[in-house]
Amino acid sequence: MATKTIEQVESHFEMFQILDENGEVVNKDAMPDLSDEQLQEIMRRMVYTRIWDQRAISLNRQGRLGFYAPVAGQEASMIGSHYALEKEDWILPGYRDVPQVVWHGLPLYQAFLYSRGHFHGGQIPEGVNILPPQIIIGAQIVQAAGVALGLKRRHQDNVAITYTGDGGASQGDFYEGMNFAGAYEAPAIFVVQNNQFAISVPVEEQSAAKTIAQKAVAAGIHGVQVDGMDILAMYSVTETARKNALNGEPTLIESVCYRYGPHTMAGDDPTRYRTEELDNEWEKKDPLIRFRKFLEDKDLWNEDKENEVVDQAKADIKEAIKQADDTPKQKASDLIEIMYEKLPQNLQEQLEEYREKESK
Amino acid sequence: MAQMTMIQAITDAMRTELKNDENVLVYGEDVGQNGGVFRATEGLQDEFGEERVFDTPLAESGIGGLTLGLAVTGFRPVMEIQFFGFVFETMDEVVGQIARLRYRTGGKYGAPVTIRTPYGGGVKTPELHADSLEGIIAQSPGISVVIPSTPYDAKGLLISAIRSNDPVFYLEHMKLYRSFREEVPEEEYTVEIGKADVKREGKDVTLIAYGAMVHTCLKAADQLAEEGYEAEVVDLRTVSPVDMDTIIESVKKTNRAVMVQEAQRQAGVGSNVIADINERAILHLEAPVLRVAAPDTVFPFAAAEDVWLPNENDVIEKAKAVLNF
């Protein structure tokens, strides 16, 4: 009996796809209503993000960036879901989800400062509704329920979207966040980018559940599994999730994708836990290749357009690194000053002590 | 003026701030219609509605995350953890997230959050209800830790906590909830966070305490007075940050001090206070600063509370030891 129930539940979670690996539309009815310019824009963002990722890896190796979690392979998942949002929506990212917050308005040089561990990286500009990338796996998920309830209480037509990985779906906070949002009918979207490995642990070892999407059932919210290498599918499910969220129905989106690079640039070696065959298999599903082909077939993309984006990305990154380099270095006294609105006695004394040290 | 118990003063403070500021929200497990397991939120949902005072699902980490999310969308959350021992379930959201939000955003987002929770020995609760875990929170930068010992202080400190643009952990000693009444103004007033209070003046020895131990010290001081010693009792009221000015002023007058806490000895609030006294006033001391604290075991099973918790005889013994050093 129990087995049958699980099978029945799991049978509802087939992967949603619009564009297959060859760039062919396999689900015409589901095609999102995007103009030619919008289709070009999401391609532009994917190409830009891949160049930025390559540069970030190389800058990290040169010691010019700090903490960095590579994103190549996940561009459709990140950019497709983000493109379905409105400017006033809130993003609660995990540490890999820097592209979404930059496309939402965080200046690139601040993303670089975040990577270096400079506090100005977290000084989010006015009107950019994001929290800094979260390090603790799952902490942002329960917070997203809170942001969503706050938006609902303010009667704003906006949503909170949060991102984690396949490992994140094993955390208690993952369930608590979905459950709170469901109980409060709060406008939240939970995206799990299932890139197959939590550092080194394969997703099959995380849970007896065949899909992550089905975990939505236990929380009483919508759940959908989507081809995370297909930007049209990602956009489409997020757009639907956003509409549902505004009606008080949260959604869990499981985006099935792959990260080509290491977990982070801090010494992870994927050859210890992944085979070359698996890498090759996933690279055939590449989000840029299939969407490029789709656009070329419609005569919306060509090499010149691609090169234009590549040149722009390289120039922007150069400029952003320069701006990051020009940002004043942090002092211990700066860090004391950002602890509280009004410094307590102990920190006031310590501030004076450090200021004196720094003046020497 | 009205005669109020501490729990009435706490309810009154929340009512005051719910009236003053529509961004104030009060919530937690059983906080809504039930009015909280100790009735601290009694009547508040009826008065302010289910959007302002409400129940949460039973998950402390979820409550903590909810709080951070509500704070960044402009609310002023007052969240309840049903018993302090349950804080371990939400340690990340409290000290890893809420307490760090301002720092993490370079000063951009404050967390105007109040976390209320009952704690304290002497009422025979099951395990992980009564533990004095204030030292763990006090060690975390970015959050103040407030512990009132009287109804008057309870109201004024809670109003200050709710108005603070930085997070405040507000601890309510269960034994003090209904143990006595005192005059509490019906109108609003604040007691400043980070300021200690001399609850009894004396010239011979300073007894430093917080929470229920303030009353233990006051009893001890009564008995010491019968023997001719005038003890001064300093109520910390805030254990992070500690008001060292008031302590040092007292110690410079009495030249002797005993630190009294209900918590275990190791790495607690008292250790920090004594270290600071030594740094700032050692040449004024006529004797080492001694400590009254619980032993370094787990908080005891209910039937053993009486033999485990520090009492006034322990305070008198240490006070006499420093007086006769």
d(CA A231, CA A77): 7
Domain extent for B7: 2-184
pLDDT at A2 over 70: no
Domains identified in chain B, total number:
2
Residue B191 falls within a domain, yes or no? Answer: no
Neighboring chain B residues of A155 at a CB cutoff of 8 Å: none
Across the interface, of A147, A179, A346, the residue whose CB is closest to B62 is A179
CATH number of the domain enclosing B257: 3.40.50.920
Residue B305 falls within a domain, yes or no? Answer: yes
| Per-residue tokens: A120 | 């100005």
| Per-residue tokens: B95 | 């000290």
**Do A180 and B109 lie within an 8 Å CB cutoff?**
no
Note the pLDDT tens digit of each residue in B168-178: 999 999 999 99
pLDDT at B321 over 70: yes
**Do A150 and B103 lie within an 8 Å CB cutoff?**
no
Considering the domain architecture, whether residues B36 and B169 belong to the same structural domain is answered as yes
Residue B100 falls within a domain, yes or no? Answer: yes
B241 min Cα distance to partner chain A (Å): 7
d(CA A135, CA B189): 40
DSSP per-residue codes, A66-111: -S----TT-HHHHHHHHHTS-TTSEEE-BTT-HHHHHHTT--HHHH
Domains of chain A, CATH where assigned: 28-329 (3.40.50.970), 330-360 (no CATH)
B50 min Cα distance to partner chain A (Å): 11
Considering the domain architecture, whether residues B9 and B143 belong to the same structural domain is answered as yes
Q: Which of B184, B219, B252 is the last residue of a domain?
A: B184
Which residue of chain A comes nearest to B93, CA vs CA? A139
At A4 the pLDDT is 84
Q: Which of B133, B156, B184 is the last residue of a domain?
A: B184
Note the pLDDT tens digit of each residue in B120-142: 999 999 999 999 999 999 999 99
Note the pLDDT tens digit of each residue in B177-204: 999 999 999 999 999 999 999 999 999 9
Note the pLDDT tens digit of each residue in A257-299: 999 999 999 999 999 999 999 999 999 999 999 999 999 999 9
Considering the domain architecture, whether residues B227 and B152 belong to the same structural domain is answered as no
Considering the domain architecture, whether residues B229 and B157 belong to the same structural domain is answered as no
Residue B189 falls within a domain, yes or no? Answer: no
Beta strands in chain A (DSSP E): 90-92, 160-165, 188-194, 197-198, 201-202, 222-227, 251-256
Which residue of chain B comes nearest to A184, CA vs CA? B56
d(CA A109, CA A323): 6
The interface residues of chain B toward chain A in range 232-271, judged by CB-CB distance below 8 A, are: 241-245
Whether B228 has its CB under 8 Å from any CB of chain A: the answer is no
Whether A176 has its CB under 8 Å from any CB of chain B: the answer is yes
A–B CB contacts, 8 A cutoff, strictly below = 133
* Best residue in A67, A113, A123, A142 for a mutation probing chain B (most B CBs within 10 Å): A142
Neighboring chain B residues of A158 at a CB cutoff of 8 Å: none
Considering the domain architecture, whether residues B128 and B24 belong to the same structural domain is answered as yes
Whether A195 has its CB under 8 Å from any CB of chain B: the answer is no
DSSP per-residue codes, B115-177: EEEEE-SSS---TTSS---HHHHHTSTT-EEE---SHHHHHHHHHHHHH-SS-EEEEEEGGGT
pLDDT average, residue stretch A203-212: 96
d(CA A168, CA A266): 20
At A1 the pLDDT is 57
Angle made by CA atoms A319, A323, A328, in degrees to the nearest 5: 165
CATH number of the domain enclosing B158: 3.40.50.970
To the nearest whole number, what is the mean pLDDT of chain A? Answer: 97
Q: Which of B134, B163, B184 is the last residue of a domain?
A: B184
pLDDT average, residue stretch A125-137: 97
A259 is catalytic: yes
Residue B192 falls within a domain, yes or no? Answer: no
Residue carrying the six token digits 């009792």:
B233
Considering the domain architecture, whether residues B86 and B226 belong to the same structural domain is answered as no
pLDDT average, residue stretch A26-34: 96
The interface residues of chain A toward chain B in range 277-316, judged by CB-CB distance below 8 A, are: none
Considering the domain architecture, whether residues B235 and B282 belong to the same structural domain is answered as yes
Note the pLDDT tens digit of each residue in B140-165: 999 999 999 999 999 999 999 999 99
Tell me the pLDDT band of A3, cut-offs 50, 70 and 90. confident
**Do B142 and A339 lie within an 8 Å CB cutoff?**
yes
Which residue from B100, B106, B95 is spatially nearest to B139, judged by alpha carbons?
Answer: B95
Considering the domain architecture, whether residues B26 and B163 belong to the same structural domain is answered as yes
